[in-house]
Structure formats: structure tokens, C-alpha cells
Amino acid sequence: MFRFFSCASLMLVFFCPAVALEVNQASEAELDGLRGIGPPFTRRLMAARAQQAFEDWTDLMQRVSGMGPRVAQSLSDQGLTVQGQSLPCQLRTKKKRLQAHRLSQ
């Protein structure tokens, strides 16, 4: 029984984001730790944030070069938030919406 709970706990740790990471407060190291972005992208994000905090995901995608719907989706899936919000459904990639529509039919 103990083994079951241990395995279940480990699965939760590895498959669920433990803590949301707020883009307006995250350190450079925390942002670099996200899959799919590297130091150049992080520097662009930090420079845009230094001018003004991001208001929402649309603001983030407009002001940071290279931040399109796919990158935004990936980062949101990893726990990144803007003003405490994950990526809204209407901003997700068209490909994801088409796949979801096909599955529902």
C-alpha cells in the first residue's frame, strides 16, 4: 500500500506543474529552465518586461519576438502564467483546435 502511494505521489510531481511561474516576476534562471526557450529568447522577454509588465498573453506575444501561439502554448502547459492566467483557449494554435474538433466528431 505504501508503495502505491509513493508511486502516485511521484507521478503527480513529474506530470503536473507544481507551481505556476508568473512571467512578470520570474527570474532569468527560472525562465531559462523552461523547455523550448533559450538564453536569447529569455533576454528578449526580460528586456520587454523591463519596459513595462505584461498585461496579458496577447501583450506578451505582441511584444516578444518569437513568441507565437505554439511557444505560448508550450510555456503555458509548463506552468507559465501572465497576470496569474494560463493561455486562454482562443489564443491557442489553430492546429490544436482542429485536432480537438476532429476528436469530438
pLDDT tens for each residue of 78-95? 999 999 999 998 877 654
Burial class (CB in 10 A: 0-12, 13-18, 19+), 99: exposed
Q: What is the distance between the alpha carbons of residues 100 and 11, in angstroms, rounded to a whole number?
A: 25
Q: Hey, what CATH class is 19-104 in?
A: mainly alpha
- The pTM of the whole model exceeds 0.85: no
Domain range list for the chain: 19-104
* Positions in the chain short of pLDDT 70: 1-18, 93-105
Q: What's the confidence (pLDDT) of residue 67? A: 93
Q: What's the confidence (pLDDT) of residue 90? A: 80
Torsion of CA 85, 94, 62, 46, to 10 degrees: 60
